[in-house]
Amino acid sequence: MQNFADQTRNCFSQKNWVIAFFSLVLIFALIIWVPNLLAAPEKEKPAKKPATTQAPAPGTAPGTSIKSSAINDSNVNAALKRADEMMKKGEVDGPLKILVSVYEYSKDVLLTVKFFQGHYEKAINDPNTPQGEKEEIYIKLKRMGQLVPKYNSIKEATTYNVGYLYAKKGDAEKARKYLTEVLEMTPFSTKKDSISVRAKTLLLDLYGLEGEF
């Protein structure tokens, strides 16, 4: 009977040891695995795209920003110079894009100046206009007197060059439109190097009447 009791105690002792061993293994495993399971995976940061440098558009000089939609009084001369350089190289589309913009800009400037010029002149001759206001108008008219010849000259030369480039491009209809406008805006001259004679020569060529008159 005593032997049986001893055997029973030994059996329970062995079982307790086994349970304790596996318990320790389980606790150790949990210590290692649980943090990994609970930790949220870090999101990968998107790679930065390398900075790209946009090439200048046709008709824009490197290092400048003369865009066809941004012609103004401060850059109109630079735009004309750039177009002239491109034409000397035999280019057509690039200078044409610039010159059409300059043409539209100069036309709008002249239309605006002449509109206000007429109204300012009426205001000066109006006895009801205060003297202080008249003095301000005189200053504005003086500035306008400088703008009109400047932009008349720009428009004349630009209109001719646009017509010339369209003729070179093979677009006879647009070429005739601009060259005819040159004849309407420039004073008549018989000098061979005048804009009116050069415009006439191109027009007669487009009409198939070269050398007729």
Which of 113, 11, 76, 74 minimizes the C-alpha distance to 121?
Answer: 113
Structure pTM? 0.65
CA distance 123 to 137: 8
Average pLDDT of span 107-113: 96
Is-contact 165 92, C-beta < 8 A? yes
Collapsed DSSP state (helix, strand, coil) of residue 166? helix
pLDDT at 190 over 70: yes
Which of 100, 106, 91 minimizes the C-alpha distance to 163?
Answer: 100
Q: Which residues lie below 8 Å from residue 72, measured CB to CB, with a gap of 6+? A: 105
Look at 27-41, 91-105, 157-171 and tell me which has the smallest mean pLDDT: 27-41
Average pLDDT of span 153-170: 96
Question: Per-residue confidence at 15, pLDDT binned at 50, 70, 90?
Answer: low
Query: Cα(first)–Cα(last) distance of the chain, in Å?
Result: 147
Q: Where are the alpha helices (DSSP H) in the chain?
A: 2-38, 76-88, 93-125, 131-169, 172-185, 195-207
pLDDT in tens, 35-90: 555 554 444 555 555 544 444 444 344 444 444 458 999 999 999 999 999 999 99
Is-contact 133 123, C-beta < 8 A? yes
